[in-house]
Amino acid sequence: MLKRVIALAEEPNVPFSPSGKSFTAVAVNTAAKAGEWIKTKIGAYTKLDLKYSESDLVTEIDKGSEKLIRSLILTHFPTHSFLGEEGVEPGPLASAKALEDASGAEYLWIVDPIDGTTNFVHQFPFFSISIALAYKGEPVIGVVYDPNRDELFVAEKGKGAYLHGKRMSVSADAKLSESLLATGFPADREKALPINMRGLAAVVPKVRNVRNGGSAALHMAYIAAGRLSGFWEIGLNSWDLAAGTLLIQESGGSVTDTAGNPYTLKVRNVLATNGKIHGELVDTLQQADATGL
Ligand code: 2AM
Ligand code: CA
């Protein structure tokens, strides 16, 4: 092994990589390491900045977590591309452009260093680290880690999704009326929020109840684990959704945009379910003019 590493390092066009660790092992270890560090910083951030609006927050811990994740991943895979929330200017246009710029990459890591920053700031223990690897534009590894509950959700394309080594599968709920759903209240108060509120008004009377936990990635992981049967939100970004999407797909669920079109990294208005209530939820949002599309 050592011989091979040295040989690779000496070839001029092959960048040095210190180990033969699998993509999944690196994603899992990196998420766990970042989560451990973030946990030591709860209640201890010193700098709070506003990004796009007064409800779009960032701390130095978000930036530190991204730096840690980026350097660990690029140490193992120096030729890969990296798209992280904190490396992108705030706002939907900049996010779309960053994704466009990265879209030619063969291997692209898509990272949210803290998904649920508002919760982190308020010491509400529901936030996560989301790490996905996309190969030619399609998520092939997805890891979402909840450091508060020490739950690590991991999926590999074609190999299933797991929580603590146990294969996950989506809930069996077949009707909206027996389903527990989640949504979020978007930081974009002008455009996205009113659309989501129309959806909320239409969905709440039809379902068992709706939660807004505050971390899209964790909501998606909870669908994979069968704890929620659906989630929708307007105006999210690729780093909120890429890992969670693979978790759900590998657990038997469905992820589309709010109008039911197939998931791509560009999707911002998301609808994710156990698959069984997908049609009913698309119809409800469409009838309420709440797809945002
Ligand atoms: P964040 O904590 O990483 O910002 C909650 O409704 C979800 O919305 C969270 O996943 C949160 O992720 C995300 N979010 C918060 N502000 C946002 C913004 N300005 N644009 C898009 N998503 C945002
Ligand atoms: Ca974030």
Tell me the CATH number at 8. 3.30.540.10
Q: Is residue 269 part of a domain?
A: yes
Q: Is residue 58 part of a domain?
A: yes
From 38, 130, 237, 239, mutation site for ligand 1 pocket: most ligand atoms within 8 A of C-beta: 237
62, 86, 112, 188: the catalytic one is: 112
Would you say the CB of residue 182 lies under 6 angstroms from ligand 1? no
Return per-residue pLDDT of the chain as tens, 293 residues. Answer: 444 444 444 445 555 555 568 999 999 999 999 999 999 999 988 889 998 788 888 999 999 999 999 999 999 999 999 999 999 998 889 999 999 999 899 999 999 999 999 999 999 999 999 999 999 999 999 999 999 999 999 999 999 999 999 999 999 999 999 999 999 999 889 999 999 999 999 999 999 999 999 999 999 999 999 999 999 999 999 999 999 999 999 999 999 999 999 999 999 999 999 999 999 999 999 999 999 98
13, two tokens: 């066009």
Alpha carbon nearest to ligand 1 atom 18, residue: 187
* Residues 122 and 9 grouped into a single domain: yes
Tell me the CATH number at 185. 3.40.190.80
**pLDDT for the residue 274:** 98
272, two tokens: 């994710």
- Is 24 among the catalytic positions? no
Q: Which residues partner with 82 through β-bridges? A: 109
Q: Is residue 293 part of a domain?
A: no
Query: Could you list the residue range(s) of the whole structural domain that residue 7 is in?
Result: 2-167
* Residues 103 and 129 grouped into a single domain: yes
Q: Is residue 154 part of a domain?
A: yes
* Residues 160 and 241 grouped into a single domain: no
CA–centroid distance, residue 19 to ligand 1 (Å): 34
Where is the domain boundary, 146, 167, 188? Answer: 167
**pLDDT for the residue 46:** 87
* Residues 163 and 210 grouped into a single domain: no
**pLDDT for the residue 255:** 98
* CA atoms in the 13 A half-sphere facing the CB of 72: 21
Q: Which residues partner with 209 through β-bridges? A: 180
**pLDDT for the residue 21:** 81
CA–centroid distance, residue 235 to ligand 1 (Å): 8
* Residues 27 and 131 grouped into a single domain: yes
Number of structural domains found in the chain = 2
* Residues 20 and 66 grouped into a single domain: yes
Would you say the CB of residue 66 lies under 6 angstroms from ligand 1? no
Torsion region of 165: left, alpha or beta (phi above 0 gives left; psi -120 to 50 gives alpha): left
Would you say the CB of residue 56 lies under 6 angstroms from ligand 1? yes
CA–centroid distance, residue 90 to ligand 2 (Å): 11
* Residues 142 and 206 grouped into a single domain: no
- How far from 176 is each of 231, 251, 275, CA to CA, in Å? 12, 19, 11
Q: How far apart are CA 29 and CA 197, in angstroms?
A: 38
Q: Is residue 292 part of a domain?
A: no
CA–centroid distance, residue 187 to ligand 1 (Å): 7
* Residues 115 and 16 grouped into a single domain: yes
Q: Is residue 255 part of a domain?
A: yes
Cβ atoms of 284 and 203 closer than 8 Å: yes
Q: Is residue 222 part of a domain?
A: yes
Where is the domain boundary, 132, 150, 167? Answer: 167
* Residues 161 and 189 grouped into a single domain: no
* Residues 95 and 208 grouped into a single domain: no
Where is the domain boundary, 124, 149, 167? Answer: 167
Q: Is residue 235 part of a domain?
A: yes
* Residues 153 and 259 grouped into a single domain: no
**pLDDT for the residue 2:** 42
pTM: 0.93
Q: Which residues surround ligand 2, an ion (CB under 5 A)?
A: 85, 112, 114
**pLDDT for the residue 7:** 42
* Residues 281 and 140 grouped into a single domain: no
